[in-house]
Every structure is written in C-alpha cells, then in structure tokens.
Structure 1
Amino acid sequence: MFAPEPDNDLYVVVDVVVSVTAGTASVSSMNFEWIGDDGVAVSALSGALSGCAKNSLSSANDVRAGQKRAGQVVFDVPSARGSIEFTPKTFGPAKASWKA
C-alpha cells in the first residue's frame, strides 16, 4: 500500500534459502543479483526499500556450516523473465544461478 511504484515496471519477490555447507559465510540480500533475459544485471538494492518483502532476508556474518538463512529478496525489474545469481563474495564469481 505504501510501496513506491517500481522504476522498471515491476517488483519481483524471490524466496531464498542459503545453506552453508563448509566453513563460515556472510549472508545478505546484496549477495543476489537479477540478470534479465537481455543480459542487464539488477542488484537487490533496486527493490530493498520497496516494502514488498513480507520476510526480508536478514544479513548475518559468520554463519557456520550446517546453518541456514531464509527470507525474501526484492528486485525492481523491467520483466519477470530472467535469472537470479548468488555471489557470496562482493567481487567474486557467481556460485549459483536459477532461472525465474
């Protein structure tokens, strides 16, 4: 009701679960990126203030192996056709990708 209109036509809300399998990891919605079918990348920052997530993925440091973090990540995108990429390190390669 109070969410601002999306700049790029629509908000896509994605339910995510991050499971740490070895060592420790930091988890944040900023580890996710939307890649449109046109190849344009959109960070989760685009929808962070939308108010569309009912259960936002909360940031956590030093999540240990065997632990999980779950929540929603919101993207402000021009089309619902694309994929989501997970990059656990800010300047590293994507470790996982899912087609939306």
Structure 2
Amino acid sequence: MLRKNLLLTLAAAGAVVTMLACGAGSGDTSSSVTGGDAKPVESAAPEKTTAVAKIGQTVTLNNDGLGENDIVEITVTNAKQHTKEPGSFGSKPERGVFLVLDVTVVCKQGTYHANPYNFKFVAKDGTVSDGAFATFKPELHATDLSAGQKVAGKIVFDVSKAALTGGRIQVDGIGLDYDKPAAYWAL
C-alpha cells in the first residue's frame, strides 16, 4: 500500500511539473498602449491581446500570474538609421543599416529584468532579427528593476533598408510569458 501511495504521489507531482513546464497557468501577461491610438491585435489565445503602438508611445505590461503582480511601462522612441557605428573603428552593418532606438523602462510595481535582448526587430514578412553587436551610447544594459526604478538606453538592430518598411519592434512578455511577444511598436 505504501508503494502504491508513493507511485500516486510521484505521478501527481510529475503532472504538476509538466503543467508548469508546458505553460499551464501562464498567459497572464497583458499589454496596453498610452499616448495615442492603441491597436490591440488578437494573439494565439482569444482572450489575450498584443498591443501595437507607434514609436514614441508607452506600452504597459502587466504580469499577475503565480502570485506575481508586476507592472512595467516601456517607451520606444527616436528610430534612426546609421551606416556606421560611432568611433574611429566603427563597424558597418552587414545587412544594410543600423536601426537605433531609445528605450525607457519604468517599473511601476513588482520587479522587472530590463534587457536589450527582450527586444527584436520583426520585418513585414515575419523575419525576426535580434539586436546587433554595435555600440551606440548610452546603451541599454541588462538591469534588475524594483518598483519606482527606471533605466534608459539605446538598442540596435542590423537590418536591410527594405525590411524597415512595415517593420516593428517587439518586446517579449514578462513572467511565464517571457518567450512570447507582449507588444509591438510600428516603425
């Protein structure tokens, strides 16, 4: 009987681990836009929306899953193109241009790990580009924020000029949705 109870306990624990690993209980990140026309776009789950903002608008991310209650405001501004990294030894973009944007992250409640790798460039055809290895100061550095703290800096992408038309900047979700798009800024 002890062996049967142990097997049932292990099976139940395995089911809980599987549910958490597969994302059951996730999907608690939501986003909204302030400072202009908000255009929520339906995502894979019908009850969730992914905000689409214009450059210069602030997006608010909320995470209220698994006992967390985090609120973060992110603003992406000043989209500029460069054909060379600053400095006498500055590199040139491999794909066409460096797209440089200013990002401000404000943690309103809870905590947030601000990181330039939370952002991606998404072309109109769906091609995704991570940040470029180019330095435009001041850089956005990976920083752990608590309520009331903020960080600002530049993020950089190496993209073709053609990809800029219809392109968007994506920010990843927070909490268990860290690997899913939470919001976009249209260029």
2:119 matched to which residue of 1? 32
| Percent identity (aligned) | 29
Residue 66 of structure 1 and its aligned partner are, at CA, apart by 2.3
Q: Which runs of 5 or more residues in structure 2 are unaligned?
A: 1-87
Equivalent residues in 2 for 1:51-90 (5 A)?
Answer: 51=135, 53-61=136-144, 63-79=145-161, 80-81=164-165, 82-89=167-174
Kindly indicate whether residue 183 of structure 2 is the aligned counterpart of residue 96 of structure 1: yes
Could you say what secondary structure the match of 1:95 adopts? strand
Larger Rg: 2
Structure with larger RCO (C-alpha < 8 A, sep 6+): 1
TM-score w.r.t. structure 1 length?
A: 0.83
Residue 67 of structure 1 and its aligned partner are, at CA, apart by 1.6
1:26–1:88 CA contact under 8 A, matched in 2: no
How many residue pairs were aligned? 95
Task: After the TM superposition, list the runs of 4 or more consecutive aligned residues in structure 1 that deviate by more than 4 angstroms.
Answer: 88-91
Residue 21 of structure 1 and its aligned partner are, at CA, apart by 2.5
Residue 88 of structure 1 and its aligned partner are, at CA, apart by 4.5
Relative distance call for 1:3 and 1:12 in structure 2 (3 A) is same
Task: Give the RMSD, CA atoms, in angstroms.
Answer: 1.7
1:27–1:88 CA contact under 8 A, matched in 2: no
1:2 matched to which residue of 2? 89
Distance 1:91 1:65 in 2: 19
TM-score w.r.t. structure 2 length?
A: 0.47
Q: Which runs of 5 or more residues in structure 1 are unaligned?
A: none
Greater helix content: 2
Could you say what secondary structure the match of 2:109 adopts? coil
Greater shift, 12-21 or 80-89, is seen at 80-89
